[in-house]
Amino acid sequence: MGKTLAEKILSHHAGHDVKSGEFAMVKVDFTYAHDGTAPLTVQQMEAMGIKKLNHPSQCAVFLDHAAPSPRLEHSNDHQSLRNFCRRTGAVLFDIGEGVSHNIVSEKFARPGDLILGADSHTCTLGALAAFSTGMGSTDIAAAMAFGHTWMRVPEPFEVYLKGALSPGVYSKDFILHFIGTIGADGATYKALEFIGPALEKLSVAARATISNMAIECGAKAGLFPSDTLTRLFLREHGREHDYRELAPDSDARYERKFQFDLSRLEPMVACPHFVDQVKPISQVERVNVAQVLIGTCTNGRLEDLHIAARFLKGRRVGPETRLIVTLSSKKVFLEAMADGTLRTFLEAGGVLTGPGCGPCVGVHQGILADGEVCVGTQNRNFEGRMGNPKGFIYLTSPATAAATAIAGRLTDPREFL
């Protein structure tokens, strides 16, 4: 019997064949945490009396959630984490380097890797055919210390994609549509495996947006096979030697199968306060919008910024709307600065934050006022997500967010094409 992509990767790391539903002890290739979760990871290691990491160069700490620190509590956590990295040899990515998931994709993730992160959106790395998943801080402490973890091999869902996205429609629209179709708990502890002819037109950046939000329907991982576009991405980041071809077997068995024609999609919107409260934009009231957020780990890559900038070029943000742009990494920031993209945002009336999570988690750099509406490209719109339980968040693609910033109300980007 053939193997799914998840079964192949986990079998390799277990050292023997494993199947969906089985428990296995598996070797971990890379482990990381950030300033929101790493403090507990360090505390747990200290409580276990662990002073050394199994492979320090394969363990990383990112200061990205509150960067730069907006409060003394965060500053003290940052200081503690810097000391931890000096003491253990773990790799430190300090403030301004960017969001953990995006940096790991640029510098570390390889097809076939098993990657653990103390953040639910670690599944982003599935775009590179890596089995990547989020775990709690205690599990991450153990993985850093011993280089192994245990897990149940998730049951697989096949998601077959055909057709091509229409102008004004992007991979974010697809994953919102998928989550709206299956529900917020429709794939709990499943491995989503994306296949089909549409993949040849989905860049790694577009795939990363889809993988990033696999957790929003409960999935353990969101996996793409590796292909020519994977190799190209690794080459662009000086890591073509990390490429390996990896795909599910043609006779692999899946618990459920889905098929979507991307050409039939229109721009989608996840309405407050649930990620699966998804509607086509044609069915959403054109609410007035106080703030637009473009970027974060979901849509803060150069390709995403280019999409938004095409709509904003030569236009201005609405007079009663704020535009905040949060880039995913320093590399993206430098590239967007070099090609004039950042100038486009600034000339349109936008505000740039440093590379990092920015307003997404509601710590700083864009907390909503009571009753304010934000349209953003982030991955969650839960009540209170952006720092105020009296705010309202709509999730969209970068194109819809840019069109909304111009119009000052939720707007179909195809009106500007």
DSSP letter for each residue of 338-353 = HTTHHHHHHHTT-EEE
pLDDT of residue 217: 97
- Output the CA torsion 65→69→74→79 (10° steps): 110
CB neighbours of residue 59 within 10 Å: 24
Q: What is the mean pLDDT of residues 270-277?
A: 96
pLDDT of residue 64: 94
pTM, two decimals, is: 0.96
| pLDDT band at residue 416 under the 50/70/90 scheme | very high
CA distances from 215 to 115, 179, 303 (A): 15, 10, 22
What do you get for the CA distance between the two ends of the chain, in Å? 48
The beta strands (E) that lie in 184-321 are given as 190-195, 221-223, 256-261, 268-270, 278-280, 291-295
| pLDDT band at residue 197 under the 50/70/90 scheme | very high
Measured CA to CA, the distance from residue 85 to residue 92 in angstroms comes to 6
Q: How many helices (H) and strands (E) does the chain have?
A: 13, 18
- Output the CA torsion 65→223→216→377 (10° steps): 60
Mind listing the pLDDT tens digit for each residue in 93-121?
Answer: 999 999 999 999 999 999 999 999 999 99
**8 Å CB contact between 81 and 92:** yes
| pLDDT band at residue 312 under the 50/70/90 scheme | very high
Q: What is the mean pLDDT of residues 30-49?
A: 94
| pLDDT band at residue 1 under the 50/70/90 scheme | confident
Q: Which of 97, 141, 102 is nearest to 118 (CA)?
A: 141
Q: What is the mean pLDDT of residues 271-281?
A: 96
| pLDDT band at residue 298 under the 50/70/90 scheme | very high
| pLDDT band at residue 146 under the 50/70/90 scheme | very high
pLDDT of residue 363: 87
CA distances from 186 to 180, 214, 219, 265, 277 (A): 10, 11, 8, 20, 13
Looking at residue 15, its amino acid is: G
Mind listing the pLDDT tens digit for each residue in 387-408?
Answer: 899 999 999 999 999 999 999 9
Measured CA to CA, the distance from residue 58 to residue 38 in angstroms comes to 15
Q: What is the mean pLDDT of residues 63-83?
A: 95
Residue 224, C-beta contacts closer than 8 angstroms, at least 6 positions apart: 126, 127, 128, 129, 194, 199, 207, 210, 211, 230
**Percentage above 70 pLDDT, the chain:** 100
Q: Say if strands 278-280 and 268-270 run parallel, antiparallel, or are unpaired.
A: antiparallel
For the chain, list the domains and their CATH numbers.
5-261 (3.30.499.10), 269-416 (3.30.499.10)
Q: Which of 267, 373, 384 is nearest to 320 (CA)?
A: 373
Measured CA to CA, the distance from residue 238 to residue 233 in angstroms comes to 9
pLDDT of residue 132: 98
Q: What is the mean pLDDT of residues 373-387?
A: 94
Q: Which of 182, 186, 184, 191 is nearest to 130 (CA)?
A: 191
Mind listing the pLDDT tens digit for each residue in 337-354?
Answer: 999 999 999 999 999 999
Round the average pLDDT of the chain to a whole number and report it: 96
Q: For residue 306, is pLDDT > 90? A: yes
Q: What is the mean pLDDT of residues 67-90?
A: 95
Only one residue has tokens 């002819």, namely 197
